[in-house]
Chain A
Amino acid sequence: MLEIGVARKLGPLDLRIDLSLNREAVLVAGPNGAGKSTLLRILLGVVSPDAGRITLDQRVLFDAEKGIDVATEERELGYLPQDYALFPHLDVMGNVTFGLARLKRVERLRRAGEWLERLGVAQFARRFPAELSGGERQRVALARSLARNPRALLLDEPFASLDPVARRELRASLRGWLREWRLPALIVSHDPADAVLADRIAVVERGRIVQQGTIDQLRGTAVSSFVAGFTDESG
């Protein structure tokens, strides 16, 4: 379980977020500048909150009062940025084994191969990221994150860099995988079509969660024009 209760002032943004994720996928939606990216950066440990607490499976990742701020590499989070951030100087296998440095070589290759297989990209193991399509890159990036058995998954605009056909295809696949893995997954998106990925939607505006619930609960009870527009377009 991922429990977030943080506050952070950053320029004009006054972010105050309280959000709990069980083994479910929560879509954080909101207009540009609402604080979605800052929230992600706080969870990743790149930005420190001014106040608050973050716990993951009862382990404290951040606690302002107790002065706890666990380093990014020890947070056990899987992160999929918008452009997938595959290391361009490493091939697919090199990318996936990057996070498995503590394992012995044989085990490292076995684990990486297993995840590449599960995500249907094992045939590209020796290719470099520049030689893959957007969809293939996303699968490799997911395999890379999941091979480390993260305790939670953070996805930033997971389909923004894909063409519409790949987007539809991968959205369906990702939806299936998220159901299968049952990890706390926080998906940041401003695309209403991504609502199908999530068990719950949390809408952030001007640094606050203004409304949350399932897409059906939001529909008809919209508290803002953004929520109304988002639910209308989510189909």
Chain B
Amino acid sequence: MKRLAASSWHAAQLAGSALLGLFLLIPIVALVATLSWDDFLGGLRNPLLVPALRLSLVTTASSLALVVVLGSLLAWRVARNPGRVSRWLEAVAQLPAVIPPAVAGVGLLLAFGRRGLLGAWLDRHGIALAFTTPAVVLAEAFVSAPFFVQAAIAAFRHLDENLLVVSRTLGASPFRTFVRVGLPLAAPGLVAGAAMSWARAVGEFGATLLFAGNLTGRTQTMPLAVYTAMESDLRAAQALSLILVAIAFALLFVLRRVGPGVALPGTEARRA
């Protein structure tokens, strides 16, 4: 009886893994398998591609820089100074991960739009954000920040406190301790978080569409270009999608190489 139960459990695991694995893989296989080489090359010549790819790279690099710099400061604060304020900060930084992107877009518009909470004040000072390239950066930063912040908090929390105290006894200020000890030791976690955050920013669609619009060359990022191409030319949409898939695979490769399990110089893995 026990043996039967064990083998059924084993079979259920296998079946579940196979089903989910196939389900996750089939759409990606379909993207590749249903497109001929000529169609792919044709899709690459679509006029939407170059401006969208350039805009995606520029805006996601900007949003990543914003998220990494501010997120590292917030994560350090939360990880090293536990308390009520830190718990609130952590909760606030997680919020965008559970808010639907379209809702985030509406929120951003109501905050930074011409008549928004802050937007009205900005507008009086000659700064208009909505439906501009900076709006794309803000939308991407908003939806992708939680991925970096969570990883950074976890990485900073894992640091051995003695290393930080010793650094201070060796004359290093709190800032130098952060830069010379905290950042290098947390680097694998930070890189993994940055990669996840960047991936989320590259794929961002809903918030960008609502807050920044879909203007070629100004606010039309790769996912929006795929959406636009879908309306006229499925092959072009497919070619653009494949580029996003290639980016995702490259990222996955980097993540697996530089994941949190990465070994520091001189540790076992390095000698192995």
Q: Among the interface residues B168, B169, B185, which one has the most CB atoms of the partner chain A within 10 A?
A: B169
Number of interface residues of B (CB under 8 A): 24
Could you tell me if A44 and B170 are in contact, using CB atoms closer than 8 angstroms? no
Closest to B267 in A: A130
Total A residues in contact with B, Cβ cutoff 8 Å: 31
**A contact residues around B173 at 8 Å (CB):** 71, 73
Chain B interface helix/strand/loop/mixed: helix
Taking CB atoms and an 8 Å cut-off, the chain B residues in 171-213 that contact chain A are: 171-173, 176, 180-181, 184-185
The closest CB in chain B to the CB of A131 belongs to B266
In contact, B171 and A88 (Cβ under 8 angstroms): no
**A99 CB contacts on chain B under 8 angstroms:** 169-172
In the bound complex, residues from chain A placing their C-beta under 8 Å from that of B176 are: 101
Q: Are A85 and B166 in contact (CB under 8 A)?
A: yes
A81 is an interface residue with CB less than 8 A from chain B:
yes
The interface residues of chain B lying within 8 Å CB-to-CB of A81 are: 162, 165-166
Measured in the bound complex, the distance between the Cα atoms of B167 and A87 in whole Å is 9
Contact assessment for B266 and A87 in the assembled complex, using a CB-CB cutoff below 8 Å: no
**CA of A88 to CA of B165, assembled, Å:** 15
Which A residues lie within 8 Å of B270 (CB)? 128, 130
Chain B residues within CB distance 8 Å of chain A: 160, 162-163, 165-173, 176, 180-181, 184-185, 264-268, 270-271
Question: Interface on A for B, CB 8 Å cutoff?
Answer: 44-46, 71-73, 75, 77-79, 81-83, 85, 87-89, 91, 98-99, 101-102, 127-131, 144-145, 148, 150
Closest to A82 in B: B162
**Cβ–Cβ contact A89 & B170, under 8 A:** no
Can you report 18 residue pairs joining A to B where beta carbons are below 8 Å apart? A81-B162, A85-B162, A85-B163, A87-B163, A88-B185, A88-B266, A88-B267, A89-B264, A89-B265, A98-B172, A98-B180, A130-B271, A131-B266, A131-B271, A145-B169, A145-B170, A148-B170, A148-B171
Cβ contacts under 8 Å, B180 to chain A:
98
A72 close to B169 (CB less than 8 A):
yes
A98/B167 in contact, CB under 8 A: yes
